[in-house]
Structure 1
Amino acid sequence: MKKWLSLFLIGLLAMSVVASGCISSSKEESKKGAIAIVYDVGGRGDLSFNDMAYLGASKAAKDFNLDLVEMQSNSEDDYVKNLETLASQKKYLVIIAVGFMMTDAVKQVAKEYPDQKFAIIDGYIPDMPNVMSILFKENEGSALAGALAGLIAANDGKDKVGIVLGMEIPVLYKFEAGYRFGVKWAEDYYYKKEGKNVTIDVIYQYTGTFNDAAKGKAAARAQLAQGAWVIYQVAGGTGLGVFDAVDEVLKSQNKKMGPPFAIGVDSAQDWIKPGVIIASMMKRVDVGVYTAVQDAVNGNFKGGIVELGLKEGGVGLSTVDDVMAMFNSLPEDTQKQKLKDLGFNSKDELKQYLEQTRGQVPDWVWDAIKELEGKIKTGIIKVPAPMDKDGIEAVRQAKTWQEMMELAK
């Protein structure tokens, strides 16, 4: 799975803007079939969710010699139209819808075209034989992000961390719940290690959008002003503004590296602002998309739910090797330009800088994260995954991670 991630920057560099209702496709000859992907309103170029979906689709198209057709949704009104446009052509092995917001549209169009296979990322459609619902245990990966944030804060004598989210939809409740769980777990871990009671508050804000970096920056600025020591961005393109806000604070203090830190999401975003982003919670949308195409190609496609967590490699915290693998896969001239843009003379300098950034956090913190990850993988620890307002409110009111674990289904 990690070798797919190494192609991420290539995918980013190859991106082009696809207008709503306008189809783009590769033109190579002798294809063995075609697949199609419909992006959510955030669109390509978010350096996050939609770009990871493209990564998986483009890799699958290459590996299985398929034509790839892309459609962009500029508003919710485009969902049904785009899906129907593709389904009516009756030539795609599978049509992939990216995002929870397309759930109702996929249900409608899949019913109209029962012979067409569909896959939806983050949409819950359990009972249609022609629809594969690809879900992720974002709560598990976010628990690692929360533990990292909480332990950094506790170690530095701080009592607040933040999380900036996009639209208030059920899947983002899972991110928030996992993050809160990890912070509470960190409080407990720190007490056992240092013998000191700490209480770390989580400041949160739903911005209502996935493609407004200015709103993300404003939200992060407010949280930093309130004392947030680490901020987790869960807002796609909106979250890019979180990185800018943390970067500005560091520059105002004549610091090149945090803390304060940001935590990225979906892809290994550490490279975007080295020194600012301590790690990223990777949500392997590329793995999910690739799996759907592979099953369709091999005749193993089944409707129903596919869920990917820590154990399945569907989520996890980024490593320096993840980031460097991206650079190592780029053409030499592209690597040189990217390094120049980032202010480095070589890949070794970039790697050393990323390692130095992580070195601002004690080794025992990283060891603690590995311990939590192992316990989640083996099922010793279960992280809640609320999908409604009552569920997330129960998590918010819980006083300990053990209370939160009682809420896990």
Structure 2
Amino acid sequence: MKWKNMFALLIIGLVALSVATSGCISGGGEKETSTESGSSTGSQTTTSSASYSGAIAIVYDVGGRGDLSFNDMAYLGASRAAKDFNLELVELQSNSEDDYYKNLETLAKAKKYKLIIAVGYMMTDAVNATAKKYPDQKFAIVDGYIPDRDNVMSIQFKENEGSALAGALAGLIAANDGKDKVGIVLGMEIPVLYKFEAGYRFGIKWAEDYYKQKTGNDVNIDVLYQYTGTFNEAAKGKAAADAQLNDGAWVIYQVAGGTGLGVFDAVKEYLKAHGKEMGPPFAIGVDSAQDWIKPGVIIASMMKRVDVGVYNAVKAVVEGNFHGGVVELGLKENGVGLSTVDDVMTMFNSLPEDTQKKKLQELGFNSKEELKQYLENTRKQVPDWIWQAVDELKQRIISGEIKVPAPMDKGGIEKIRQANTWQEMEQLAG
């Protein structure tokens, strides 16, 4: 797909490394390709490690590289760490849930990796079993919860906090435009996604309250939601978003990895059908600064800094500070937050000059300044007071004045769905 190719070029520019999908990324020196076959289900490419100070490995979830969000952000953090600490990086792709343990086992029994990184909640059981079998091997799992193994670092994020900002933005945009519905399209119905949904709903209720205080007008915004059951089927994301747009959703938050790319397509087509190039309605991206994917369509992205969590885990191993247990990153730790135009342009400016020119041509811009201006103009469709309100919520969360609930089970999210105010939701934060 065009966007996957563009994102791959973007990553190359950011980390200044040579990339081979599901292959080995070295921290320095020349890369030689030779394929090993074994019990792993992903291809594994090795290189001469004479010039390296060690090796790390990463196992991707079924969504895989090219999802433009979760897995790609994990790669970004691992590849940057490989470069900074002169490490060999081996990548393995999981094609199904059955591959998790096989891939982890293959890496662990090699006894050569300083750290094995597992990407995704779904690998929790496999990591737990492998870590028990290989107690001398260090593991890190993104989104998994394994609190009681000394050799496993569980990297978690306060997605509820970042999603509260996304909800506040969506709710205030809808209220200001006289609309009463917003949407959210999610992937698999797993506990970590309940945190996204809960935060989003919290922010929307906070927006209702804020809007009433500002204008004196009551507003009640319905949340249309759908779990698609997948992270890598854009068509399902598009179908879900099409339905929500037809039902009146004015902003749609995608929390579905590659599936969520279909949300952007749906909003783009809706705008085109109504003679518009720029929202509203808008989409909100997730995990990375996705605004660049479809300028004018994506008002902002809830950045889940998986790259920061993965990088810090590798750094801890290299510096001898690794410890098992849970590490949680929220707004205060810069682990989550809404993207800015500067976030997008910083990524773009890291590209090689020829890649920047090619990308600008594909997007229909003549210069980087045009792209930046277009992103800024997109945000100007939203009044300044809304952005200021979202920042106010951010600061109140960071200070601890406001606590956002983070349910991790079906019963918990149902209570959030039934709450009538953000204050009621806050009481469920514990």
* TM-score bracket relative to the smaller structure: over 0.9
Q: Contact 2:14–2:347 (CA<8 Å) still a contact in 1?
A: no
Q: Contact 1:11–1:54 (CA<8 Å) still a contact in 2?
A: no
Check if 1:216 corresponds to 2:237. yes
Q: Contact 1:324–1:351 (CA<8 Å) still a contact in 2?
A: yes
Secondary structure of residue in 1 paired with 2:114 = strand
The 1:7/1:379 distance shift into structure 2, 3 A limit, reads farther
Q: How high is the sequence identity, in percent, across the aligned residues?
A: 78
Corresponding residue of 2:21:
17
Q: Supply the AA of the counterpart residue of 1:153.
A: A
Q: Quick one: distance in 2 between partners of 1:384 and 1:51? A: 27
The 1:378/1:25 distance shift into structure 2, 3 A limit, reads farther
Check if 1:387 corresponds to 2:408. yes
The 1:181/1:340 distance shift into structure 2, 3 A limit, reads same
Q: Quick one: distance in 1 between partners of 2:347 and 2:91? A: 23
Post-superposition Cα deviations, 1:246-274, rounded to whole Å, max 9, x if no partner, equal 00000011111000000000000000000
2:178 aligned to which of 147, 150, 157: 157
Q: Quick one: distance in 1 between partners of 2:165 and 2:242? A: 24
1:305 aligned to which of 326, 334, 344: 326
Q: Contact 2:237–2:263 (CA<8 Å) still a contact in 1?
A: yes
Return 5+ residue gaps in structure 1 as ranges: 1-5
Q: Contact 1:9–1:327 (CA<8 Å) still a contact in 2?
A: no
The 1:333/1:106 distance shift into structure 2, 3 A limit, reads same
Return 5+ residue gaps in structure 2 as ranges: 1-8, 24-40
Corresponding residue of 1:83:
104
Corresponding residue of 1:74:
95
Q: Contact 2:155–2:328 (CA<8 Å) still a contact in 1?
A: yes
Root-mean-square deviation over aligned CA pairs? 1.5
The 1:14/1:384 distance shift into structure 2, 3 A limit, reads farther
Q: Quick one: distance in 2 between partners of 1:236 and 1:379? A: 30
Post-superposition Cα deviations, 1:316-359, rounded to whole Å, max 9, x if no partner, equal 00000000001111110000000000000000000000000000
Aligned 1:7-406 pairs, distance under 5 A: 8=11, 10=13, 15-18=19-22, 20-25=41-46, 29-406=50-427
Q: Contact 1:281–1:318 (CA<8 Å) still a contact in 2?
A: yes
Q: Quick one: distance in 1 between partners of 2:266 and 2:407? A: 29
Q: Quick one: distance in 2 between partners of 1:368 and 1:188? A: 11
Q: Contact 1:8–1:52 (CA<8 Å) still a contact in 2?
A: no
Q: Supply the AA of the counterpart residue of 1:195.
A: G
Tell me the CA shift for residue 18 of structure 1.
2.6
Q: Quick one: distance in 2 between partners of 1:277 and 1:239? A: 12
Q: Supply the AA of the counterpart residue of 2:196.
A: F
Tell me the CA shift for residue 14 of structure 1.
5.8
Q: Contact 1:267–1:283 (CA<8 Å) still a contact in 2?
A: yes
Higher RCO, Cα 8 Å, sep 6+: 1
Q: Supply the AA of the counterpart residue of 2:22.
A: V
Q: Supply the AA of the counterpart residue of 2:21.
A: V
Q: Contact 1:279–1:319 (CA<8 Å) still a contact in 2?
A: yes
Q: Quick one: distance in 2 between partners of 1:27 and 1:368? A: 54
Q: Quick one: distance in 1 between partners of 2:427 and 2:179? A: 28
Q: Quick one: distance in 1 between partners of 2:383 and 2:12? A: 29
Tell me the CA shift for residue 24 of structure 1.
3.0
The 1:360/1:112 distance shift into structure 2, 3 A limit, reads same
Tell me the CA shift for residue 10 of structure 1.
2.9
Q: Supply the AA of the counterpart residue of 1:219.
A: A
Q: Give the structure-1-normalised TM-score.
A: 0.97
The 1:191/1:151 distance shift into structure 2, 3 A limit, reads same
Q: Supply the AA of the counterpart residue of 2:252.
A: I
Q: Contact 1:26–1:68 (CA<8 Å) still a contact in 2?
A: no
Q: Give the structure-2-normalised TM-score.
A: 0.92
Post-superposition Cα deviations, 1:264-318, rounded to whole Å, max 9, x if no partner, equal 0000000000000000000000000001100000111000000000000000000
Tell me the CA shift for residue 218 of structure 1.
0.1
Secondary structure of residue in 1 paired with 2:370 = helix
Q: Supply the AA of the counterpart residue of 2:122.
A: M
Q: Contact 2:236–2:262 (CA<8 Å) still a contact in 1?
A: yes
Tell me the CA shift for residue 23 of structure 1.
1.0
Q: Supply the AA of the counterpart residue of 1:364.
A: W
Q: Supply the AA of the counterpart residue of 2:353.
A: E
Q: Contact 1:33–1:93 (CA<8 Å) still a contact in 2?
A: yes
Q: Quick one: distance in 2 between partners of 1:356 and 1:89? A: 52
